[in-house]
Amino acid sequence: MWTDLEIPAQLDRIVAFLRQETLEVDAVRPLDPRGHAQPIVLDLDAGLLDRSREVDLVVTGFAGEVAMVERRARLPRLPPGERALAIPLEARCAGRACDTGWTCIHGTCERSDLPIEALAASVEDLPADPLAGVVAGRRVEGCAEEGANCDDDPCTVAVCSDHRCNQDGWTGTCLPCTSDADCGGLERTPCERPFCHPHGVCRLRSLPPGTRCDDDEDPCTVQCCREATICMSFDVCGEPDVATGCDP
């Protein structure tokens, strides 16, 4: 299993069932709250199931007692010996319910039937991470060095904190830099200042409240930055007693 849900806030254990009419086998995998290397492997023993007949696989991700996400797969049979199947638990499928015989894939309900060729001989033979590059929730990966850059993407700032790789959620222009002077082309508001982050990519920093901004040359007004990087205009002639923080 791969997931882009946040561990443990959105996912703290995985429960899987193999079902065939009245027969059922299950397995539970608690997840490490410090983060989990992926894929997350969960073993199911087919037990008394008839491998020559159709079987349903149901995988559910829980956060506490809440079922956050579910993925279903219907296989025509189970070949002899061990087999592996890739099951992505996607954030965009969280809370999405599908009718019987259907399952959530990429945020929409699709048929749950899978060909026997979808089964791999082992975990090592599974395809690469099917969620690579998907931005639907914070990347769930373990990391070791506190404060270190834990992301190879030059356009993101990801810092290891408490064994989690935490990104800053930046959605602006990717502008590599070596100094603040390289960030002049970054789009900004009057109350933001571009700077070169130590990870070598431009970011914006909010100017302190009270910083002058957008001077309109009117002697009776003054503009200064306030909360949430807003450049506000104050009438110092009409309301001389109003403290702006940037009075001339």
DSSP per-residue codes, 90-156: -GGGTT----TTEEEETTEEEE-B--GGG-BSSGGGSPS-TTTT--SS----B--STT-B----TT-
Do residues 62 and 26 share a domain?
yes
Do residues 189 and 236 share a domain?
no
pLDDT of residue 24: 85
Structure tokens at 17: 């069932």
Do residues 14 and 120 share a domain?
yes
Put simply, whether the predicted model's pTM sits higher than 0.85 gets the answer: no
pLDDT of residue 139: 42
Domain that holds residue 172: 158-206
Using CA atoms, how far residue 9 sits from 29, 109, 153, in Å, is 16, 25, 24
Residue 242: count of CB within 10 angstroms of its CB: 11
pLDDT of residue 245: 67
Beta carbons within 8 Å of 242's beta carbon, 6+ residues apart:
234, 235, 236
Domain assignment of residue 141, yes or no: no
Do residues 171 and 237 share a domain?
no
Domain assignment of residue 144, yes or no: no
Domain assignment of residue 176, yes or no: yes
User: Looking at 101, 125, 149, which one is the last position of a domain?
Assistant: 125
Do residues 104 and 179 share a domain?
no
pLDDT of residue 58: 94
Do residues 201 and 218 share a domain?
no
| Domains contained in the chain, number | 3
The tens digit of pLDDT for each residue in 33-59 reads: 776 677 888 899 888 888 899 999 999
Do residues 7 and 86 share a domain?
yes
Strand, coil or helix: 206: strand
pLDDT of residue 99: 87
Do residues 217 and 174 share a domain?
no
pLDDT of residue 72: 94
Domain assignment of residue 135, yes or no: no
Unique residue bearing structure tokens 């279903």: 72
Do residues 109 and 184 share a domain?
no
Domain assignment of residue 140, yes or no: no
Do residues 164 and 219 share a domain?
no
User: Can you list the residues of the chain whose pLDDT is less than 50?
Assistant: 134-141
Q: Residue 62 is which amino acid?
A: F
Beta carbons within 8 Å of 240's beta carbon, 6+ residues apart:
none
